[in-house]
Amino acid sequence: MKIDQIIRTRRKTFALIVQRDGSLVVRAPLRASDKQIGDLVQEKEKWIIAKQEAARRMYANTRPKEFVNGEGFLYLGKSYKLAIVDGNQPALSLSDQFYLTKSALPHAEAVFKAWYKQRAKQIISERAAWYAAQNGFVYQRVNITGARTRWGSCGRRGTLNFTWRLIMAPLRVIDYVVIHELAHLKQKNHSKVYWNEVKRLMPDYQQQIGWLKANGDTLRL
Ligand SMILES: [Zn+2]
């Protein structure tokens, strides 16, 4: 097992740190021998490997996009590979994979963003309309934002706001955020009464919250 860095300081205990890029750092007391460190790392090998795999997966999904052939882009919870193709219309399309025209390559990020926004508007509007009709909620309209960490919000006049990034998440997660905001039309707070209403509409809502906590960072370009 490769140790990327050993930091010896005036501390009494050892600490194993797997960094964002998956590298392994060991913090050790001043007098710790290389053998002691090696033994510890060997003993914790399984844990380290699991951590490194998770870190590398997350890192691969959150580093800035390069818009190159074979790179993965999320849509409704699935990763689709990108293919750069000749021709010019449309600039970006999705079937078995994403197809981006060479002429659109210089402004690929803007093209992707516009595509995601348009899909978000369509699908989130449909989901909100469906859940509202089923449960007697009345809202003004659905608005798509570019918020980075706020998945949704409910405006005072009944406008529902959702970030376009949400369209990269699985539909069940999108539905949870839609339900979360719809439920705020009746309860402006996060009280017990509020969460009971969310639970009534989506009994497994906590799973979706967990998904967003674990994967929210990957919903970006
Ligand atoms: Zn809320």
Distance 189 CA to ligand 1 centre (A): 7
Tokens of 201: 């509409």
The DSSP code sequence of 38-62 is HHHHHHTHHHHHHHHHHHHHHHHHH
Question: What's the pLDDT at 60?
Answer: 72
Question: What's the pLDDT at 149?
Answer: 81
Distance 197 CA to ligand 1 centre (A): 12
Question: What's the pLDDT at 20?
Answer: 84
Q: Residue 5: beta bridge partners?
A: 25
Instruction: Please state, in angstroms and rounded to a whole number, the distance separating the CA atoms of residues 50 and 45.
Output: 9
**Using alpha carbons only, what angle is made at residue 130 by residues 125 and 136, rounded to the nearest 5 degrees?**
115
Distance 192 CA to ligand 1 centre (A): 12
Tell me the per-residue pLDDT of 10-20, one tens digit each, with 9 for 90 and over: 999 999 999 98
- The number of C-alpha atoms within 13 Å of 173 and in the hemisphere containing its C-beta is 23
Question: What's the pLDDT at 77?
Answer: 95
Instruction: Please state, in angstroms and rounded to a whole number, the distance separating the CA atoms of residues 212 and 61.
Output: 14
Distance 65 CA to ligand 1 centre (A): 30
Instruction: Please state, in angstroms and rounded to a whole number, the distance separating the CA atoms of residues 96 and 75.
Output: 12
Distance 145 CA to ligand 1 centre (A): 16
Question: What's the pLDDT at 122?
Answer: 98
pLDDT tens for the chain, residues 1 to 221 = 899 999 999 999 999 999 988 899 999 999 999 999 999 999 999 999 999 988 887 777 777 899 999 999 999 999 999 999 998 689 999 999 999 999 999 999 999 999 999 999 999 999 999 999 999 999 999 999 999 889 999 988 899 999 999 999 999 999 999 999 999 999 999 999 999 999 999 999 999 999 999 889 889 88
Distance 133 CA to ligand 1 centre (A): 20
Distance 191 CA to ligand 1 centre (A): 10
Residue 155 neighbours by CB under 8 Å, 6+ apart? 140, 143, 161
pTM for the whole structure:
0.76
Instruction: Please state, in angstroms and rounded to a whole number, the distance separating the CA atoms of residues 45 and 59.
Output: 21
Question: What's the pLDDT at 140?
Answer: 95
Question: What's the pLDDT at 118?
Answer: 98
Instruction: Please state, in angstroms and rounded to a whole number, the distance separating the CA atoms of residues 111 and 211.
Output: 27
Instruction: Please state, in angstroms and rounded to a whole number, the distance separating the CA atoms of residues 192 and 203.
Output: 14
In 50-206, DSSP assigns E strands to: 72-75, 78-85, 92-94, 98-101, 141-145, 152-154, 159-163
Instruction: Please state, in angstroms and rounded to a whole number, the distance separating the CA atoms of residues 17 and 101.
Output: 42
Instruction: Output the CA–CA distances (angstroms, integers) from residue 87 to 29, 75, 83, 103, 138, in the order listed.
Output: 62, 23, 12, 8, 45
Tell me the per-residue pLDDT of 154-192, one tens digit each, with 9 for 90 and over: 988 899 999 999 999 999 999 999 999 999 999 999 999
